[in-house]
Amino acid sequence: MSGPDSTSKSGGGGVASGGGELTTPGDDDAVWVAKARRGDADAFGELVTRHRRRAYQVAMGMLGHHETAMDLTQEAFLRAYQSLDRFRGEAAFFTWLRRIVTNVCLDHLRKAEHRTPTTSYDEALGVDEDPDAVGLAGTLEAPDTGVRRKELGAAIEAAMKTLTPEQRAAVVLREVEGLSYEEIAKTLECATGTVMSRLHYARKRLQALLREHHEG
């Protein structure tokens, strides 16, 4: 089964790299939001069409499971629709939507974490270096059809699952979405220093696990 648009009229399957979308969203998102607030279901459908690929990309990066990412992307859009009256337009529509997607995924991961606890190192770490100094060298890019790239993709996915939900979110928002530390902090509603700590630990752990995979 392919990505969220495999059955759409546009025919594009899978997640476009770099957050590509079916329709290039522009300033007129506000027009569609206004129409949707007045009860125009087609207008909200346009917003879904514009942003579903990128929303799915965030969810898939955090969850590593296609069906769950699809389900939670749909849930995020439902929450967005139900909360349109609270969207003030101070940020871009997708910025607001991305926060909803992230929170929906965090809620899911935290519930799963209670069922299968993971080791958590986090804000207690003191980070004096720039977290970006511990680079992943594009390791979150989707693997191609080559066997070695597929194996690497599986290793990355497995390594991501060893991180706490908050660390996963920070990595995806930084590496996939390209957000600044300040933007990530705003999305996750935490301090910038907390974001740096989470990224520092997450990258160290991912590097160590991927090194083990390579050497194994």
Give the integer Cα–Cα distance in Å for 160 and 120: 13
Same domain, 156 and 82: no
Q: Let me know whether 110 and 136 are in one domain.
A: no
Are residue 104 and residue 136 in the same domain, yes or no? no
Q: Is the pLDDT of residue 18 over 90?
A: no
**Are 138 and 211 part of one and the same domain?**
yes
Q: Judge whether 194 and 185 are in contact, CB under 8 Å.
A: yes
Domain assignment present for 4: no
For residue 192, the domain's CATH number is 1.10.10.10
The answer on pLDDT for 174 being more than 70 is yes
Residue 185 CB contacts under 8 Å (≥ 6 apart), including other chains: 191, 192, 194, 195
Q: What is the dihedral of CA 128, 129, 132, 137, to 10 degrees?
A: -130
**Is residue 19 scored above 50 in pLDDT?**
no
CATH number, domain with residue 107: 1.10.1740.10
63 and 108 inside one domain: yes
Please report whether residue 16 resides in a domain: no
Q: In the predicted model, what is the mean pLDDT of residues 104-110?
A: 96
Which of 11-20, 125-134, 206-215 shows the lowest mean pLDDT across its residues? 11-20
Q: What gap in Å lies between CA 94 and CA 129, rounded to an integer?
A: 31
Q: DSSP state, 86?
A: G
What pLDDT digit, counting tens, does each position of 150-165 carry? 777 788 888 899 999 9
The pLDDT assigned to 28 comes to 85
- Regarding predicted confidence, which is higher, 139 or 97? 97
Q: Is 87 helix (H, G, I), strand (E, B) or coil?
A: coil
62 and 100 share a domain?
Answer: yes
Of the candidate ranges 59-63, 75-79, 147-151, the one whose mean pLDDT is the lowest: 147-151
pTM above 0.85, yes or no: no
Positive or negative, the CA dihedral 16, 22, 26, 32 is negative
pLDDT number for residue 120:
39
Amino acid sitting at position 125? L
Q: What is the mean pLDDT of residues 48-66?
A: 95
* Domain final residue pick, 80, 115, 150: 115
* pLDDT attached to residue 23: 41
Say yes or no to pLDDT of 83 above 50: yes
**CA-based nearest residue to 123, from 182, 184, 196, 188:** 196
**For residue 7, is it within any domain?**
no
Whether 100 is covered by a domain: the verdict is: yes
Q: Of 46-55, 101-110, 138-147, which gets the smallest average pLDDT?
A: 138-147
Same domain, yes or no: 148 and 105: no
Domain extent, residue 196, equals 131-215
Are residues 137 and 108 part of one domain?
no
- CA–CA gap between residue 103 and residue 169 (Å, rounded): 9
16 or 95: whose pLDDT is higher? 95
Q: How many whole angstroms separate alpha carbon 174 and alpha carbon 58?
A: 11
If asked whether residues 105 and 152 sit together in one domain, one would say: no
User: Using N-to-C axis directions, what is the helix angle for 93-115 and 181-188, rounded to 10°?
Assistant: 60
Domain stop point among 83, 115, 147: 115
The total number of residues shown for the chain amounts to 216
For 104, other C-beta atoms within 10 Å of its C-beta total: 24
Question: How many structural domains are present in the chain?
Answer: 2
Q: Residue type at 187?
A: T
88 occurs within a structural domain: yes
Last residue of a domain, one of 81, 115, 149: 115
| Alpha-carbon distances of 153 from 141, 157, 202, 205, rounded to whole Å | 8, 6, 17, 16
Question: Is 94 in the same domain as 157?
Answer: no
Q: Is residue 161 part of a domain?
A: yes
